[in-house]
């Protein structure tokens, strides 16, 4: 039903409501002011979170989307407001996170004149988004918003950008809600291929040493139950990518751990010993494969993926199974013969034991009273009964917390995988608290990444977002320092950090905090972290020159992991 004429800005608000949006993150400015004025009358239905920097808005939208399964929304102004979102857009693109970024733009009459805070935002973001479009007329608002949300959430999800000219915000239009579930030439989900389903089942049924690689596509496709049924019917051991860690419970008997550069020893070694490698919703990232020339050369490789562009992009496969894994996994599972592969699974045990003795036990039970990152992360996870959502920043803190947290439920890890964005953690955790207010959200950060978006403590203060912050402070840019130690003769070029008084900063924002430096203090501090309502900052002063192990060295093969730094 066509409604009386309204402004384009008002049409935006009604279109967002029509898409089911209830929460958005943003920062006002001149070119988006009409939209924010319209938002003022929708405060009861559209909860706007004022961030302290536009990059924080995109990361918060990402955190919201990753834990909720909904589309995250940002609303920012033109010029620097828009360009400040670019890191988050690129991060969302490579990690397949559905967000819609709506940025103000100068009026169409000023386009191309280098007007105040004008930038070609569509041109800038086209390479790093699924779709980027400039709204120049109020009549196009409802259509553009419907298209944006359909593209962002369908198929392989990702970011969409709407560049909203100021005149289009103030002009009037006869608003009518738009429903959209089809775009010509856009095929978000390829048709399931019956022949490939049959061939996949045949390969798996004849495999003696199968291994399943579980990626984030299982989470994005809501296929966690289908994955478990697939694995359990044929007794298939599995390992997870960083972003796919919570797709399979940590304590599932078929879960062999994490893949990749700092993953677990057993699944990495067995990648180069299996006879059938089954990749589900993962893209063979270089941090997972190591040297592609030596990666799984002995195996028949089956690749389940929704995005045809990922097939044979990095690793040549023997069989592609296109489609949403929520549909393709059950189709293959139906044809599988029940099996256990007990002898093959038992072959993982010596490698798990070796890693336990040489890496995990020294990290979790170190000599002396100096804290390690791993033991702090494990203690926090256990105190939360392995049921918290883990958000991480990037670096050693990311790898250690991902390795030593436990995952019981789906969508329980939020981290910047492909882009590796320092500063991601804090704002993403804020978004996660709004996406899943029923769950505990813990964010593990290093001292470097924390300071990159530290201003978002202001957002936490204003919203009283119950973010449980764990600062793993080693007074270094730890990941770079580890590489400098191992591969650059310990020449610590600009990696030592002079740090501020983090407890003083937290106090200035009215956020309770505690600093610990010894094991004796840790348990009491973690109890206080979870017992305190609302936000809390726990600063753990950890070993300064600790290293994340095991490690696939640069250019190395995944089956030749280092268990100790070669210093």
* pLDDT at residue 368, rounded to an integer: 85
Q: Which of 264, 543, 490 is nearest to 376 (CA)?
A: 543
Does position 184 have pLDDT exceeding 70, yes or no?
Answer: yes
- DSSP one-letter string for 107-160: -GGGTTTT-TT---HHHHHGGGSSEEEEE-SGGGHHHHHHHHHHHHHSSS---E
Helix (H) or strand (E) holding 43: none
Q: Within 10 Å of residue 286's Cβ, how many Cβ atoms?
A: 13
* pLDDT at residue 296, rounded to an integer: 97
Q: How far apart are CA 171 and CA 107, in angstroms?
A: 11
Q: Is the peptide bond before 394 cis (omega within 30 degrees of 0)?
A: no
Q: How far apart are CA 548 and CA 558, in angstroms?
A: 16
| Side-chain half-sphere exposure of 3, counting CA atoms within 13 A | 13
Q: What share of the chain is helix, strand, coil (3-state, %, to 5)?
A: 40, 20, 40
Percent of the chain clearing pLDDT 90 (strictly above) = 98
| Side-chain half-sphere exposure of 212, counting CA atoms within 13 A | 27
Structure tokens belonging to residue 416 = 């910047």
Q: How far apart are CA 290 and CA 283, in angstroms?
A: 13
Does position 4 have pLDDT exceeding 80, yes or no?
Answer: no
Q: How far apart are CA 209 and CA 249, in angstroms?
A: 22
Burial class (CB in 10 A: 0-12, 13-18, 19+), 489: exposed
Q: What is the pLDDT of residues 411-430, one digit of tens each?
A: 999 999 999 999 999 999 99
Contact 295, 271 (CB under 8 A): yes
Structure tokens belonging to residue 309 = 């562009």
Q: How far apart are CA 362 and CA 95, in angstroms?
A: 33
Q: Which of 352, 324, 325, 376 is nearest to 253 (CA)?
A: 352
The angle subtended at Cα 34 by Cα 28 and Cα 39, nearest 5°, is 70
Burial class (CB in 10 A: 0-12, 13-18, 19+), 269: buried
Phi, psi angles (nearest 5°) of residue 24? -145, 155
Q: Which of 358, 294, 334 is nearest to 555 (CA)?
A: 294
Q: How far apart are CA 218 and CA 228, in angstroms?
A: 11
Q: How far apart are CA 75 and CA 88, in angstroms?
A: 13
Q: Is the dihedral of CA 209, 210, 213, 219 positive or negative?
A: negative
Structure tokens belonging to residue 356 = 């336990």
User: Rg of the chain's alpha carbons, rounded to an integer?
Assistant: 24
| CA diameter of the chain | 73
Q: What is the pLDDT of residues 479-524, one digit of tens each?
A: 999 999 999 999 999 999 999 999 999 999 999 999 999 999 999 9
Residues in the chain, total: 567
Contact 61, 49 (CB under 8 A): no
Q: 3-class DSSP state for residue 305?
A: strand
pTM above 0.95, yes or no: yes
Q: Within 10 Å of residue 96's Cβ, how many Cβ atoms?
A: 25
Tell me the mean pLDDT in the region 93-121: 97
- Quick one: angle between helices 54-68 and 86-94, nearest 10? 30
* pLDDT at residue 369, rounded to an integer: 84
Q: Would you give the DSSP letter of residue 20?
A: T
Tell me the mean pLDDT in the region 465-472: 98
Does position 1 have pLDDT exceeding 60, yes or no?
Answer: no
Q: How far apart are CA 389 and CA 555, in angstroms?
A: 33
Strand partners, 446: 472
Q: What is the pLDDT of residues 36-81, one digit of tens each?
A: 999 999 999 999 999 999 999 999 999 999 999 999 999 999 999 9
Q: Is the dihedral of CA 102, 106, 112, 117 positive or negative?
A: negative
Contact 227, 245 (CB under 8 A): no
- The confidence band for 567, taking pLDDT boundaries of 50, 70 and 90, is confident
Q: How far apart are CA 454 and CA 52, in angstroms?
A: 9
* pLDDT at residue 2, rounded to an integer: 58
Q: How far apart are CA 472 and CA 476, in angstroms?
A: 10
E strands within 326-459?
389-392, 413-414, 441-446
Q: How far apart are CA 236 and CA 224, in angstroms?
A: 15
- The confidence band for 441, taking pLDDT boundaries of 50, 70 and 90, is very high
Strand partners, 50: 26
């Amino acid at each position: 039903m066509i409604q009386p004429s309204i402004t384009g800005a008002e049409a935006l608000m009604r279109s967002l409501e029509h898409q089911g949006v209830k929460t958005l993150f943003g920062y006002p400015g001149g070119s988006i002011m009409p939209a924010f004025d319209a938002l003022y009358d929708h405060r009861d239905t559209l909860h706007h979170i004022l961030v302290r920097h536009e990059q924080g808005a995109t990361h918060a939208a990402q955190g919201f989307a990753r834990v909720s399964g909904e589309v995250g929304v940002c609303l920012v102004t033109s010029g620097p407001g828009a360009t400040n979102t670019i890191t988050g857009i690129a991060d969302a693109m490579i990690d397949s996170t559905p967000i819609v970024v709506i940025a103000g733009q100068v009026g169409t009459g000023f386009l191309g004149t280098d007007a105040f805070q004008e930038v070609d935002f569509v041109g800038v973001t086209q390479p790093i988004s699924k779709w980027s479009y400039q709204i120049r007329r109020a009549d196009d608002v409802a259509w553009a918003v419907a298209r944006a949300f359909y593209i962002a959430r369908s198929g392989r999800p990702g970011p969409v950008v709407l560049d909203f000219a100021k005149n289009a915000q103030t002009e009037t239009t006869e608003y009518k809600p738009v429903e959209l579930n089809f775009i010509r030439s856009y095929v978000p989900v390829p048709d399931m291929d019956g022949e490939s389903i049959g061939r996949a089942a045949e390969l798996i049924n004849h495999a003696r040493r199968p291994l399943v690689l579980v990626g984030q596509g299982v989470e994005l496709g809501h296929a966690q139950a289908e994955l478990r049924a697939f694995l359990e019917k044929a007794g298939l051991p599995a390992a997870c990518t960083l972003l796919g860690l919570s797709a399979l419970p940590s304590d599932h008997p078929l879960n062999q751990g994490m893949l990749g550069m700092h993953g677990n020893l057993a699944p990495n070694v067995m990648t180069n010993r299996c006879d059938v490698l089954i990749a589900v919703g993962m893209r063979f990232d270089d941090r997972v494969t190591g040297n592609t020339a030596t990666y799984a050369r002995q195996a028949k490789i089956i690749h389940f993926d929704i995005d045809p562009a990922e097939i044979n992009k990095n690793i040549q496969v023997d069989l592609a199974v296109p489609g949403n894994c929520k549909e393709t996994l059950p189709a293959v599972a139906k044809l599988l013969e029940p099996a256990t592969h007990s002898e093959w699974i038992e072959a993982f045990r010596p490698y798990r034991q070796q890693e336990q003795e040489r890496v995990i036990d020294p990290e979790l039970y170190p000599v002396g009273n100096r804290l390690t990152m791993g033991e702090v992360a494990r203690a926090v996870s256990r105190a939360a009964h392995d049921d918290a959502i883990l958000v991480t920043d990037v670096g050693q803190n990311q790898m250690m917390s991902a390795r030593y947290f436990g995952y019981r439920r789906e969508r329980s890890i939020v981290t910047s995988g492909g882009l590796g964005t320092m500063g991601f953690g804090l704002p993403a955790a804020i978004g996660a608290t709004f996406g899943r207010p029923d769950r505990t959200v813990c964010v593990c950060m290093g001292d470097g990444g924390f300071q990159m978006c530290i201003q978002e403590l202001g957002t936490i203060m204003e919203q009283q977002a119950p973010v449980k912050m764990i600062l793993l402070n080693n007074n270094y840019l730890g990941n770079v320092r580890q590489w400098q130690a191992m591969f650059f003769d310990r020449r610590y070029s600009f990696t030592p950090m002079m740090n501020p008084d983090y407890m003083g900063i937290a106090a200035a924002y009215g956020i309770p905090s505690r600093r610990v430096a010894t094991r004796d203090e840790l348990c009491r501090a973690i109890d206080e972290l979870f017992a305190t309502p609302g936000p809390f900052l726990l600063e753990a002063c950890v070993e300064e020159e600790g290293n994340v192990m095991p490690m696939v060295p640069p250019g190395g093969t995944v089956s030749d992991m280092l268990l100790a730094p070669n210093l």
